[in-house]
Amino acid sequence: LPASPEFDRLRIVLVATRNPLNIGAAARAMSNFGFSHLRVVNPYEEAFREARSGVGASAVLTRAEQYTTVAEAVADCTLVVGTTAGRHRELQHPLRRLENGARLIRKQLASSRVALLFGSEKVGLSNQDFSHCHWLIRIPTREQHISMNLGQAVAVCVYELVRKAGAAPEPEQASKKPGDKQPLATACEVERVTAMVVDLLRASAYMSPSRAPATEEKVRRLLRRLKLSAHDAELWLGILRQIAWKLSSGHS
């Protein structure tokens, strides 16, 4: 698995996970965002075996390492961060909002390994688990529905970690906004479309002769509000020409 050196230093640690689907989902999200080192601590044996042997198990999953204690799972890391849904823990741990915590994690990853811990679906991380952590991260869920699905929590955390990585220049993106980047139609091109619409309206008896100048102005303003690209102006001309042709041929 190719990964940036920084990302290669992160260890996602799942503690006492019960549901094989969640282990698989965590691995998938990690792979999506370029992280490849998954560690599991005391998973339900069956769950881990099932997840690992599942059809389409990812490289992340098959290479996952198994530990029996949190201490061993985080032993080679210089920073250990726990995740929690709660807000009012009585622990003596700094509790950081995800976006702020992620910034600190990235900083640390520049030089050394970081472990990010996720607890079991039912009870999260225990106080014992927390005691291995330097500080905790809280995902900003709302008070009335705090608890996230484990696979989704991992996804949101690893997304936040890579979110800023590409922040500065997104080379591919620049050329990828045809709708925005396309050169605007020149006034001349827009006027050609305008004239075509006006002709159609005249042929359709939409404009009474006495109101023609006012209607024409209205249409002109209407067309300018569209901010047509040169490309779209061409498309419209083609469409309008065809209708005009049909309109005149229907009467001939």
Least spacing, CB of residue 220 vs a second copy, in Å: 12
What are the Cα distances from residue 195, in Å, to 5, 60, 237?
Answer: 60, 62, 10
Give the span between the Cα atoms of 25 and 162, in whole angstroms. Answer: 18
In this complex, which beta carbon is closest to a second copy, that of residue 49 or of residue 227? 227
Closest C-alpha to 45, from 63, 26, 23 = 23
Number of H helices, E strands in the chain: 12, 7
Query: Of the two residues 6 and 160, which places its CB atom closer to a second copy in the complex?
Result: 160
Q: Which two tokens stand for residue 148?
A: 């996230």
Q: In which element (H, E) is residue 116 found? A: strand 114-118
Alpha helices per DSSP H over 54-95:
59-62, 70-73
CB of 240 to a second copy, least distance (A): 9
Q: Which is nearer to a second copy, 11 or 138 (CB)?
A: 138
Cβ-based nearer residue to a second copy, 68 or 177: 177
Shortest Å distance, C-beta 185 to a second copy: 12
State the minimum distance, in angstroms, from the CB of residue 49 to a second copy: 21
CB of 33 to a second copy, least distance (A): 6
Q: Report the SS3 class of residue 10.
A: strand
> Of 42 and 184, which CB lies nearer to a second copy in the complex structure?
184
Q: Return the bridge partners of 65, or none.
A: 39
